[in-house]
């Protein structure tokens, strides 16, 4: 069972619309309303791929109750810490020109007592051997810079192996707490290590070989900074990793991408599921890339069709760079 630690739950809306015009009116149709935030994607993908898990989050106001109800309707096990304020909404607009526009609200400002109750919740139930905790998403406003580091320690204290997918100061502090894995993209890695002058371009649209070389160097630095292993995903250019001291290059199957939002979350979900099952590293990385690609091919966020992912895994590769 994967413990998904998602301190920034959201109400997710996916709309289809004409091109979004800043300053103008954009009319659209609702494709999906669901419990969201990066961790909700991880749990949704985990269940789709035959795994089990539970999600912990904060719940604020009427929006928080709506998220809790939507999670229950979908069969996502969710436990929350109640807070003041109002839950955030994340809207993804799929333009009929193929554009994907994200409108993300900040969540409510949290108090130190909210943070403390959440850390207790994260460490409350002991893990079974080999189980993973996934800490996923940007931190909500008001929390201390050491929040994700404390969550990493709480996960370890309960016996979990911990994967962190985060950014900026939370990622920096969590690295020092020694998570078994970090799963980030270029922008997230660049937010804590390296800068443009050191070859951190923070873009996914470079040449794949150049992105892979840059990503591997960032993985090495993430490990030097304290992570036991690091995976850096590169969208359609696949991923690179440093795991158990070995370097990996992963190619992802080509798909017609409709909505790649949440592909990194589906990648993380599949990776820990496969590692927990005892699959070898290469197989786990191929399944992870396939889950990310399957999500990108779907209009929905954090959505993996397991049959498609299984087929795509045969078209992914994981080997030495
Ligand atoms: N357009 C695409 N075509 C094929 N595979 C894709 C595509 N986009 C993503 N993927 C797969 O999903 C993985 C994760 O994607 P990406 O690097 O975009 O994650 P991310 O930036 O963390 O996304 P998010 O935070 O929205 O979940 C990639 O390594 C790749 O295997
Ligand atoms: Mg991500």
Residue pLDDT tens, the chain, 321 long: 999 999 999 999 999 998 888 899 989 999 999 999 999 999 999 999 999 999 999 999 999 999 999 999 999 999 999 999 999 999 999 999 999 999 999 999 999 999 999 999 999 999 999 999 999 999 999 999 999 999 999 999 999 999 999 999 999 999 999 999 999 999 999 999 865 446 566 566 678 888 999 999 999 999 999 999 999 999 999 999 999 989 999 999 999 999 999 999 999 999 999 999 999 999 999 999 999 999 999 999 999 999 999 999 999 999 999
| Ligand 1 atom closest to the CA of 266, numbered from 1 | 27
**Computed from CA positions of residues 282, 40, 277, 163, in that sequence, does the dihedral angle turn out positive or negative?**
positive
What is the spatial distance between Cα 15 and Cα 296, in angstroms, rounded to a whole number?
16
Going by CA atoms, what residue is nearest to atom 18 of ligand 1? Answer: 235
Residue 276 has a pLDDT of 96
* The overall pTM is greater than 0.85: yes
**CA–CA gap between residue 92 and residue 301 (Å, rounded):** 9
d(CA 175, CA 1): 24
Architecture of domain 2-319 in this structure: 3-Layer(aba) Sandwich (3.40)
Q: Does ligand 1 come within 6 angstroms of the Cβ of 39?
A: no
Tell me the residues surrounding ligand 2 (ion) with CB < 5 Å: 264
Q: What is the pLDDT of residue 206?
A: 72
DSSP 8-state symbol, 197:
G
Task: Say which residues have a Cβ less than 8 Å from residue 211's Cβ, sequence separation at least 6.
Answer: 186, 204, 234, 237
Query: Alpha-carbon distance 67 to 247, whole Å?
Result: 40
The alpha carbon of 89 and the centre of ligand 2 are apart by a number of angstroms equal to: 18
What pLDDT shows up at residue 195?
Answer: 59
Mention every residue, 6+ apart, whose C-beta is less than 8 A from residue 248.
239, 240, 241, 242, 281, 282, 285, 318, 319, 320, 321
Residue 231, beta-bridge partner list: 183, 241
Which SS3 state, helix, strand or coil, does residue 192 take? helix
Q: What is the pLDDT of residue 194?
A: 66
User: Quick one: pLDDT at residue 14?
Assistant: 95
| The pLDDT value given to residue 208 | 86
């Amino acid at each position: 069972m994967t413990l998904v630690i998602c301190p920034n739950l959201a109400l997710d809306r996916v709309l289809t619309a004409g091109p979004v015009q800043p300053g103008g009116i954009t009319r659209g149709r609702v494709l999906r309303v669901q419990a969201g935030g990066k961790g909700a994607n991880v749990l949704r993908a985990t269940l789709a791929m035959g795994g089990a898990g539970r999600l912990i989050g904060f719940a604020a106001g009427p929006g928080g109750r709506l998220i809790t109800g939507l999670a229950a309707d979908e069969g996502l096990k969710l436990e929350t810490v109640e807070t003041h304020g109002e839950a955030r909404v994340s809207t993804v607009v799929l333009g009929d020109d193929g554009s994907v526009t994200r409108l993300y609200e900040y969540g409510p400002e949290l108090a130190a007592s909210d943070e403390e109750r959440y850390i207790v919740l994260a460490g409350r139930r002991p893990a079974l051997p080999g189980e993973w905790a996934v800490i996923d998403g940007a931190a909500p406003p008001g929390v201390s810079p050491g929040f994700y580091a404390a969550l990493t320690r709480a996960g370890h204290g309960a016996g979990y192996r911990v994967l962190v997918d985060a950014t900026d100061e939370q990622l920096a502090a969590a690295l020092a707490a020694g998570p078994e894995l970090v799963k980030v993209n270029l922008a997230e890695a660049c937010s804590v290590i390296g800068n443009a002058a050191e070859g951190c371009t923070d873009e996914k649209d470079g040449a794949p070989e150049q992105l892979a070389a840059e990503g591997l160097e960032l993985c090495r630095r993430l490990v030097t900074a304290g992570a036991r292993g690091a995976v850096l995903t590169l969208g359609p250019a696949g991923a690179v990793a440093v795991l158990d001291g070995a370097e990996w290059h992963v190619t992802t199957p080509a798909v017609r991408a409709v909505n790649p939002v949440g592909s990194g979350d589906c990648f993380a979900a599949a990776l820990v599921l496969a590692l927990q099952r005892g699959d070898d590293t290469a197989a786990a990385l191929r399944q992870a890339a396939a889950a990310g690609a399957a999500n990108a091919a779907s209009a929905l966020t954090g959505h993996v069709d397991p049959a498609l992912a299984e087929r795509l895994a045969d078209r992914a590769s994981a080997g030495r760079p």
